[in-house]
Amino acid sequence: MADDKKLTTRAVDFSAWYNETVLRAELADYSPVRGCMVIRPRGYGIWERMQRQLDTAFKDTGHQNAYFPLLIPESFLRKEAEHVEGFAPQTAVVTHGGGKKLDEPLIIRPTSETMIYAMFAKWVQSYRDLPLLINQWANVVRWEMRTRLFLRTLEFLWQEGHTAHATEAEAEEETRRMLNVYRDFMEAWMAMPVVTGLKTDSERFAGAVRTYSCEAMMQDNKALQAGTSHNLGQNFARAFDLKFQSESGSTEFAWNTSWGVSTRLVGGLVMTHGDDFGLRIPPFLAPIELVIVPIWRNDEDRTRVLETARSILADLSGWERRKTGKLRVHLDDREGMKPGAKYYEWELRGIPLRLEFGPRDLDANQCVLVRRDNRVKRTVTLDSIGEDVSDLLSIMQTDMRVAAFDRREANSIRGGITYDRFREVMEGDGAFVYAGFCGSATCEQTIKEETKATIRVLPDEEFRSAEAPETCLRCGAKSVVEALWAKAY
């Protein structure tokens, strides 16, 4: 596709819009290996900022990073019955190494519970060694048949937290704590509001006792499972003999949790904030927060405009913001390219603020600031440009979060929806539907087959409707719990 062609609009084909935006904003590219993507610098820069903030949050909650092997003996997977059932069909298998057939095939980790709890069993002897709070930044491989850039790829980058605790209550507390760390990050940094809650058994992590999830609404009203946190009970501790001597001298199995988010979040960011002009990056995560585009018509103008542009660059680059550090500013001084073409490109790439600046502005000691989120222009004096930019970025971060929240709420349905109407909604524009659920796996399965919608979560209290629904969405039996239904990625 030529770079000057307009993007397919979201209304016409959301899926095509997404792919075009990811490719043309140079976030990622297809690779020569089916289902594996290349994360380009503009995409990796967003992931790096996500990593840095999450890593800080993990360390602030007492976790330490470590690194475990990529390759796992096939037999390890089989030690936990549900786990192997869930992951075995998706494995990539190494059968040969150093030119020889291996005695036992090795799988590329699809997740690391088995390896990590095998090591924990070696390290933990006593209650004094607990809690053990570990995180790993790593790549994993799951052999997916249908892949989408960032959203579902054979290989992806993620972090996986793994912890061991002396009591069930502590493990549950950790599971919830990390779910909230994710939620805070998604809302404050990604400007992406989420609904948190418990997964039903059908969507539970293979090997977990309970799985909690953060679910975000994309602009096509589908849900994206953005992060999960699992209470693993003693399932893996039993499988890998992870025991400890308690304070009273008895020998007990430890209680585990695991939790992860992945490069999928970059896809979530695109589908939450992008518009028909391309990407819109929330300022906190933007590798470049502001781009300066100087304007000139002749060489004389060029000299004096560029000189001032460079001094603005130096001035702004020195600004330190509380949460996000030094302002990240870029000067686009490319020759032989019209300002309009530069605007178009930086809009496509989603840079939050653009500073336009020409000879007349110079004479008037002013410049034009253009917000990417709402494309509103504002002429400001150069005297207080640092304050103005800093304030605008904070306002944009909030505005983007509020806009995403309002969009989600406008596309959420609560209270007394009939099943016929539900089917219409799911066949049409989709929505987050809060409705009663009888608790039967059969009912859940039937609804999924009939509408492609699934229970995203049994929402946490703050997300539940003021009046609890009385009957099940489909079967009309007494509702035992409120469920959030949606089609999902």
Interacting residues with its own copies (CB under 8 A): 29, 31-33, 36-41, 44-45, 47-48, 64-73, 76, 88-99, 105-106, 108, 115, 118-119, 122-123, 134, 138-139, 141, 143-145, 154-155, 157
Least CB distance from residue 329 to its own copies, whole Å? 15
- Helix axis angle, 385-410 to 264-273, nearest 10°: 90
Least CB distance from residue 263 to its own copies, whole Å? 8
* Residue 148 DSSP label: B
Least CB distance from residue 366 to its own copies, whole Å? 32
DSSP states of 363-432: HTTEEEEEETTT--EEEEEGGGHHHHHHHHHHHHHHHHHHHHHHHHHHTEEES---HHHHHHHHHTT--E
Least CB distance from residue 394 to its own copies, whole Å? 25
Least CB distance from residue 325 to its own copies, whole Å? 12
Least CB distance from residue 113 to its own copies, whole Å? 14
Toward its own copies, which CB reaches closer, 53 or 213? Answer: 53
**Distance (Å, whole) CA 489 – CA 486:** 10
Least CB distance from residue 200 to its own copies, whole Å? 26
Toward its own copies, which CB reaches closer, 41 or 415? Answer: 41
Q: Is residue 450 within 8 Å of 187, Cβ to Cβ? A: no
Give the C-alpha distances (Å, rounded to integers) separating 96 from 70, 92, 104, 225, 333.
15, 12, 10, 35, 52
Among candidate residues 254, 229, 259, the one with its CA nearest the CA of residue 118: 254
Q: Is residue 426 within 8 Å of 487, Cβ to Cβ? A: yes
Toward its own copies, which CB reaches closer, 67 or 442? Answer: 67
Least CB distance from residue 245 to its own copies, whole Å? 15
Toward its own copies, which CB reaches closer, 93 or 402? Answer: 93
**Distance (Å, whole) CA 328 – CA 247:** 52
Classified as helix, coil or strand, 241 is coil
Toward its own copies, which CB reaches closer, 29 or 427? Answer: 29
Toward its own copies, which CB reaches closer, 108 or 447? Answer: 108
Among candidate residues 203, 253, 263, 256, the one with its CA nearest the CA of residue 230: 256
Per DSSP, what are the bridge partners of residue 367?
380
**Distance (Å, whole) CA 428 – CA 433:** 13
**Distance (Å, whole) CA 210 – CA 199:** 7
Please give the order of strands across the beta sheet that includes 223-233: 64-65, 132-141, 155-165, 255-262, 223-233, 210-217, 195-198, 454-459, 481-486, 432-437, 412-414
Toward its own copies, which CB reaches closer, 15 or 65? Answer: 65
Structure tokens at 226: 């953005």
Toward its own copies, which CB reaches closer, 31 or 394? Answer: 31
Least CB distance from residue 230 to its own copies, whole Å? 21
**Distance (Å, whole) CA 284 – CA 2:** 31
Toward its own copies, which CB reaches closer, 144 or 301? Answer: 144
Toward its own copies, which CB reaches closer, 163 or 411? Answer: 163
Least CB distance from residue 398 to its own copies, whole Å? 29
